[in-house]
Amino acid sequence: MEPLASKIRPMNLKEYVGQKHLVGENKPIYNAIKNKQQFSFILFGPPGVGKTTLAKIYAKSLDAELFELSAVSAKKSDIQKIAEYSCLKPKILFLDEIHRFNKAQQDYLLPHVESGNITLIGATTENPSFEVIPALMSRCRVYVLNDLSKDEIFEILSKTGKLSKQSKEFVFSATNGDARQAISIIENVKNLYSKITLENLKDFVQNKFLKYDKTGEEHHNTISAFIKSMRASKTDAALYYLSRMINSGEDPKFIARRMVIFASEDIGLAKPNALLIANNVFRAVETIGLPEASINLAHGVIYLSQCPKDRRVVESLERVNQDVLNYGNLKIPLKLRNATTKFNKDQGYGKEYDMYDKDDSFLPKEINKKKYFK
């Protein structure tokens, strides 16, 4: 049976709800559709705000052949089939969760986009500047989609049937602007109960299994527990929270990035090689992808957890940042300045510089007694 979200999906921009900064009159995607401009782009925004629907409307406006793939399960062979598929219409690939494509997969896709054989529409909930290779980014425009407002969610919910204002209010608060989730709640309540009431909605939402939310409290709690466990050298706990994140769908590169930060912030000078290990873990995750990359992550987590800890690097940086903010641009001592001209030399630039001077701090005179690294 066709899902409710599919049944009520908008077929054109007149039916589309939200993202007026992109689809309003004379806005970028409005103009692209009106003028039938064919180009690759990436839609960046939270879940359930209309990325897939917008891609479908755009493809339809070009009378294009639309291919839909999820980067979670897609392989190089899927890209190859699309590239080799012969048709007279433009070929548009909608790649959902493009941030889950590893570097090798993106490298393989690049020449097909570059040649124009495939027009790419990527969708992502993660910042594409972190997740998409620069060469592919340079060939795509990036459009940012915003959370849907209460009025916009109400407008979408009105298409699902007659609902009381209280019911709409409850669904909006339960889904945080995610239209797809809102429609799913209505559909499930319709199937499970004789009618949609506020009581039935509350009963369903409060008793359903709550999944890990990549932007919500559970996300922040889990990554916090993960970092604090490594900081306390609790290896088993760190592995447990790592597994929870991976099995709940967290982006492995997000985890690896936090490990790189941890290596400098919490281990620092106690074992400088930790930063090299963490960077290598990130590179392995980026190249290999899940599920095998979970082994690389576990390897790194065990190593980082068991390293000695030293936070002097970050503490020094915090102290010096505070003085930079408090004092502004203090004058640099003359002997440390670059004497690029005769006039500069005559002014004393670079004079009396001695790299072996143990008595002078080399800091501006106002703070020359300060000790940032302790």
The CATH number given to whatever domain includes residue 10 is 3.40.50.300
Is residue 167 domain-shared with residue 128, that is, in the same domain?
no
Q: Which two tokens stand for residue 202?
A: 């509350």
Of the two residues 210 and 234, the one the predictor is more confident about is 234
Residue pair 34/77 in contact (Cβ under 8 Å)? The answer is: no
Domain count, the chain: 4
In a domain, 212, yes or no: no
Q: How confident is the model at residue 42 (pLDDT cuts 50, 70, 90)?
A: very high
Contact yes or no for 138/110 (Cβ under 8 A)? no
Average pLDDT of the residues of the chain: 86
Burial of 55 (0-12, 13-18, 19+ CB in 10 A): buried
Judged against a pLDDT cut of 90, whether residue 163 lies above it is answered with: no
135/8 same-domain check: yes
Q: Is residue 76 part of a domain?
A: yes
Residue 217: pLDDT band by 50, 70, 90 thresholds? low
Mean pLDDT of 277-291: 90
CB-CB contact of 44 with 37 (8 Å): no
Q: Residue 216 pLDDT > 60, yes or no?
A: no
End-of-domain residue from the set 144, 178, 199 = 144
**Spatial distance between the Cα atoms of 84 and 82, rounded to a whole number of angstroms:** 5
Mean pLDDT calculated for residue range 25-40: 91
Q: So what's the pLDDT on residue 29?
A: 92
Do 277 and 318 reside in the same domain of the chain?
A: no
What pLDDT is recorded for position 211? 45
Is 374 inside any structural domain? Answer: no
181, 286: one domain? no
pLDDT at 208: 47
- pLDDT at 357 (0 to 100): 72
Q: Do 39 and 117 belong together in one domain? A: yes
pLDDT at 240: 93
pLDDT digits (tens, 9 = 90+) for 144-162: 998 888 899 899 988 888 8
Q: 214 falls in which pLDDT band (50, 70, 90)?
A: low
* pLDDT for the residue 191: 84
Do 83 and 166 reside in the same domain of the chain?
Answer: no
Is 359's pLDDT higher than 70?
no
**Structural domain includes residue 8:** yes
Does 138 share its domain with 166? no
* Nearest-angstrom CA–CA distance, 196 and 187: 10
Which of 114, 47, 101, 112 is closest to 74 using CA atoms? 101
Are 223 and 258 spatial neighbours (Cβ–Cβ below 8 Å)? Answer: yes
15 contact partners, CB below 8 Å, separation of at least 6: none
pLDDT band at 119 (very low <50, low <70, confident <90, very high): very high
In the chain, the percentage of residues whose pLDDT exceeds 90 is: 34
DSSP per-residue string spanning 99-113: GGS-HHHHHHHHHHH
Pick from 109, 144, 179: which residue ends a domain? 144
Residues 75 and 14 in one domain: yes
- Tokens, residue 231: 């900081």
Determine the structural domain holding residue 154 and report its residue range.
150-207
User: Would 337 be classed as within a structural domain?
Assistant: yes
Mean pLDDT, rounded, for 47-64: 90
Confidence class for position 21, pLDDT limits 50, 70, 90: very high
CA dihedral 242→245→248→250, nearest 10 degrees, is: -130
What is the rounded distance in angstroms from the CA atom of residue 173 to the CA atom of residue 207?
16
pLDDT of residue 71: 86
Query: Of 144, 173, 193, which closes a domain?
Result: 144
- Backbone phi, psi, residue 328, to 5°: 70, -155
DSSP class of 178: -
Note whether residue 166 is domain-resident. yes
Residue 218's pLDDT is 66
Q: Which pLDDT does position 209 carry in this prediction?
A: 38
Residues 260 and 349 in one domain: no
Span 31-57, average pLDDT:
91
Side chain identity, residue 103: K
In a domain, 373, yes or no: no
Q: Do residue 348 and residue 321 come from a single domain? A: yes
Q: Tell me: do 166 and 186 sit in the same domain.
A: yes
Residues 102 and 86 in one domain: yes
d(CA 173, CA 162): 18
Q: Is residue 372 part of a domain?
A: no
